[in-house]
Structure 1
Amino acid sequence: MRIDEYRKYDGLGLAELVANREVTPRDLLDCALGQVKSIDPRLNSVVRVMSKQADEQLTRPLQGPFAGVPFLIKDLSQDYAGLPTSSGSRSLTDLAMPEHSTVVQRWLDAGLVIFGKTNTPEFGAKGITEPAVHGATRNPWDRSRTPGGSSGGSAAAVASGIVPVAGANDGGGSIRIPAACCGLVGLKPGRGLVPSGPTFGEPMHGAAVQGVVSRSVRDTAAMLDVLAGGEASSGYLPARPDGTFLSRVDKDPKPLRIGMYAVTSVNPSPHPQAVAAMESAAKTLTDLGHTVELLDAPPYDDKSLNREFLLAWFTYLAWEMDEVKRRTGCGDDAFERDTRIMAALGRAASGIDYLDAVEGRHVHVRALATYFETYDLLLTPTLAELPPKIGAFDLAKPLQMASDLLLRSRTAGLLRHTGIVDQMIDDNISWIPYTQLANVTGRPALSLPVHWTPDGLPMGAHFTAPLGGEALLVQLAGQIERAAPWVDRYDTLD
């Protein structure tokens, strides 16, 4: 099979070729490995090639909706038994995992041939993918820019044609942000629909969920069918719609009422191309018979939500760093400076501060529930700025020196009194102020690649749905994809 033929198909399309005996799983795996060899040195999306494990899979019968399709998993919270899950950290590069994550096992049961792991920032703690241990991943559309994060490696691999769909996860936008940066479909399921076990229960109190990035809506829907549903160690059994998510893709939704906004307190002047992405989606929606209304302001306190989100994030990161030290015996020098700074800020918060942030989520849940009494969906840009340049968020030298001094003297909690906190908030949130809402409230959300800038950069439109709204998002995404298709748009990588 030629590479140009391989790239034309989404995951289900490749699986159909295998089922019809037009190609073999070996043919497809060879194409994927060939793409890694020829393309990935310029992108750095794949941090571990698993040829031995893939070869072993090919010795067994492959069954399921994606039988024979090459697949990459994210090197964070998607454990493959016998191999390390580095989480983008030097501290975990040698610690083999004892068992498959539930989602990894479900992908294997669906017939996917897992042949590698993709790059991620340390502990997935940033919206960019530039870990010290593996180096920066680059955006296939513009290699001077980030593919986003924390699923940036997976997004770059899909956008460059290494695979049609890849594993991802999302604790603050980490499926949707790289999907927008790389021109892909990125669906964050609602809280509890997809399990995170067996090792984890509900990471970040349920804010973090598992999923994929893909080129087509039908791959995203079929993957949700593969992943959705509780397990024995789940805290509860999630409700599922009648029928499959895939069956909804070809069914237009009823006319919807959708509110939209772009201006936030965190970023009162989003980039014109970010606004254009939202407006492009709005025009398509209007042409399809939906009603789209511009809101005066976000229907929730976005400034409060984002500060609470970061406080909880920093505190969780402090716990995660300590937990890794207990498991591995490593010291602080095994972690990146930014990770140690964020963890120090988390430790400086009291238990009451942390509970205020976590329990305060219900205020935003109620505000969003009130909004959905009037509207069916909420529309924003996915990004407030163009995908940043590689290295754009490196700390300035004076702040590096000050933070190093405070970290060495174990007085890093004083960092909250310096400009570093404001800089981190700006770096982490101002270019992506829209995605955290869905994580905090546990609602499903979706980024669609509806717009390209004059310079050829993709920009996404972002939809947030009510509780249980995954099926509606899939329906609407399918309708938009038919009206304004993007699957045949490829990056400009040679």
Structure 2
Amino acid sequence: MNIDDYTAHDATGLRELISAGHVTAAEVEQAARQALTEANNRVNGLASPPFSPALGHDPGGPLAGVPFLIKDIGPMAAGVPFFLGSRALGPGVPARGDTDLMRRFRAAGLVTLGLTTMPELGLCFTTEPVRFGPARNPWDLGRSAGGSSGGAAALVAAGAVPVAHASDGAGSIRVPAACCGLVGLKPSRGRVPYGPDLGEAGFGMVEPFVLTRTVRDTALMLDVVSGPATGDKYTAPPYPALPGPRRLRVAVTTEAWSGAPVDHEVAASAERTALLLQRQGHLVERASPAVDWDAVIQALVVTQIAFLGSVFRHSPLDPALLEGVSRSTLEAAGELGALDLMAALDAQNRVTRSVAAFFTDHDVLVTPTMARLPAPLGTIRYDEPGLELEPFVRSMFDHAPFTPPFNVTGQPAISLPLGRSVSGLPIGVQLVAGYGREDLLLTLASGLEQEAPWPRVS
């Protein structure tokens, strides 16, 4: 298999070739290693040299032989050193064992070839850690690949692998998907396991999954890894049985709940998507849930401070080597009180109740994924001495104000690369459904992909 044949196929296509005997898993891996080296030389998305050999996996799994990457924050794989994007962890901290999700990736037969970069501690919408340098957007190497799953997005978009692990605590799957022209689904809270070391991540506001180039790969991966693990705190409900295609109630808004300005090309892409859905027979209207933006900020910022403070309380981390926002965040954790955390959880509840009420009258909400085009590298500055997390987050969310509320509510949301700017950059459109309704998102996404297929990086 040559590199052009390899990069032309998604994960489903590669597995079909292997299953039919047209190519061996070893030949696919060889092509993937060449593609990974070439892509990484362009976009700088790897946090360490490729694994040699690949991590162990089940050769009989449903995705056996499909190349794969994991993010530098886990899923933890036994013996693999993780850095969390930080100089402060020195040579890295080897994982003591596999997490539940890593076991599922192995059981699926995915051939894990490496570790992808992320911003330090995963707290940024661009991936430019001091330790590894910037992950570059393959559509324009001078622009951000997004964050925090930026290394994964850059390498999938550049053709290194068809699918890579990612995680989303405020938009960290959907933002890189929008920046790099990929499909990025944030599942419902509890759909994908986070254990056993954690009962939840970020007080239930962080969800793990993957980035792909096609909707069918996203749907297949969800089938492969979803479902509760032993002792999980949350369990998303099974998808309801649908009687067949039906007319959905679709709302669309391009106005940011934060008041941030929205680029006209970005807004136009969301509007065009709504028109496509209307032509497909769905009932579309301009409407928006009531979102208390200050409550969203409070819920996300305070819980992240508390979560990171607890994770790093007994870690080998060197505080002197932390980047600016990380340092102030961990310092703030020492001053956080129980009442502060309870107030943040109350804010989460208020946002969740308000937004959930909107979805009793609407099936799907269409918004832009981001408010702006992918930013030039260096625009979002994380390593600023003394900069506290809340003002940093408020400024950063001006780039993508549409994604964070749905981490607070736990609803599924997907970014699709349905737009292109005049300059040729990808534009993401976000679809959001009620809790547990990934089925609606994937059904609509598949139809949109067929009617308005998106290009690949040339």
> What is the aligned-residue identity percentage?
36
User: 2-side partners of 1:233 and 1:94: how far apart?
Assistant: 28
Q: Give the secondary-structure state (helix, strand or coil) at the position aligned to 1:52.
A: coil
- The worse-fitting range, judged by mean Cα deviation, of 441-450 and 81-90 is 81-90
- The worse-fitting range, judged by mean Cα deviation, of 229-238 and 113-122 is 229-238
- The worse-fitting range, judged by mean Cα deviation, of 387-396 and 278-287 is 387-396
Partner of residue 44, structure 2: 44
Partner of residue 346, structure 2: 359
- TM-score, length-scaled by structure 1: 0.88
Partner of residue 454, structure 1: 422
Q: Give the secondary-structure state (helix, strand or coil) at the position aligned to 1:360.
A: helix
Q: Unpaired segments of 5 or more residues in structure 1?
A: 404-414
Say whether 1:301 aligns with 2:292. Answer: yes
How far the C-alpha of 1:225 sits from its partner, in A, is 0.8
User: 1-side partners of 2:322 and 2:346: how far apart?
Assistant: 29
User: 2-side partners of 1:343 and 1:10: how far apart?
Assistant: 40
Q: How does 1:349-428 map to 2 (within 5 A)?
A: 349-394=336-381, 400=385, 403=386, 421-422=390-391, 424-428=392-396
Q: 1:78 aligns with which of 75, 78, 85?
A: 75
- After superposition, the C-alpha distances for 1:130-189 in whole angstroms (9 at most, x for unaligned) are 111111101000111111011111111110000111111111111111011111111111
Partner of residue 204, structure 1: 202
Say whether 1:62 aligns with 2:59. Answer: yes
Partner of residue 274, structure 2: 282
Q: Unpaired segments of 5 or more residues in structure 2?
A: none
Say whether 1:475 aligns with 2:428. Answer: no
- After superposition, the C-alpha distances for 1:245-288 in whole angstroms (9 at most, x for unaligned) are xxx9xx97411111121222424421112202211211211111
Q: Is the 8 A contact 2:118 2:127 kept in 1?
A: yes
User: 1-side partners of 2:52 and 2:114: how far apart?
Assistant: 10
Partner of residue 19, structure 2: 19
Paired residues in the alignment total 457
User: 2-side partners of 1:331 and 1:76: how far apart?
Assistant: 17
> Structure 1 runs of 4+ off > 6 angstroms?
none
Q: Is the 8 A contact 1:137 1:146 kept in 2?
A: yes
Q: How does 1:145-184 map to 2 (within 5 A)?
A: 145-184=143-182
Q: Give the secondary-structure state (helix, strand or coil) at the position aligned to 1:292.
A: strand
User: 2-side partners of 1:20 and 1:196: how far apart?
Assistant: 34
Structure 1 residue identity aligned to 2:214: S
Q: Is the 8 A contact 1:252 1:476 kept in 2?
A: no
Q: 2:85 aligns with which of 83, 88, 91?
A: 88
Q: Is the 8 A contact 1:140 1:182 kept in 2?
A: yes
- After superposition, the C-alpha distances for 1:205-243 in whole angstroms (9 at most, x for unaligned) are 111111000011110011011111111131254432378
User: 2-side partners of 1:351 and 1:190: how far apart?
Assistant: 27
- After superposition, the C-alpha distances for 1:422-451 in whole angstroms (9 at most, x for unaligned) are 3x1343211111111111011111111100
Q: How does 1:97-136 map to 2 (within 5 A)?
A: 97-136=95-134
How far the C-alpha of 1:21 sits from its partner, in A, is 0.9
How far the C-alpha of 1:347 sits from its partner, in A, is 4.1
User: 2-side partners of 1:347 and 1:386: how far apart?
Assistant: 37
Q: Is the 8 A contact 1:187 1:211 kept in 2?
A: yes
Distance 1:7 1:395, change over 3 A: closer
Distance 1:421 1:52, change over 3 A: closer
Structure 2 residue identity aligned to 1:90: R
Q: Is the 8 A contact 1:194 1:210 kept in 2?
A: yes
Structure 1 residue identity aligned to 2:319: D
Partner of residue 407, structure 1: none
Q: Is the 8 A contact 2:236 2:436 kept in 1?
A: no
Structure 1 residue identity aligned to 2:193: P
User: 2-side partners of 1:425 and 1:317: how far apart?
Assistant: 15
How far the C-alpha of 1:307 sits from its partner, in A, is 3.7
User: 1-side partners of 2:356 and 2:257: how far apart?
Assistant: 21
Say whether 1:317 aligns with 2:277. Answer: no
Q: CA RMSD in A?
A: 2.1
Q: Is the 8 A contact 2:252 2:271 kept in 1?
A: no
How far the C-alpha of 1:355 sits from its partner, in A, is 1.3
Q: Is the 8 A contact 1:119 1:137 kept in 2?
A: yes
How far the C-alpha of 1:29 sits from its partner, in A, is 1.1
Which has a greater percent of helix?
1
Distance 1:252 1:474, change over 3 A: farther
- After superposition, the C-alpha distances for 1:20-57 in whole angstroms (9 at most, x for unaligned) are 11111111111111112222122111122343231x74
User: 1-side partners of 2:166 and 2:68: how far apart?
Assistant: 11
Structure 2 residue identity aligned to 1:131: P
User: 2-side partners of 1:42 and 1:333: how far apart?
Assistant: 31
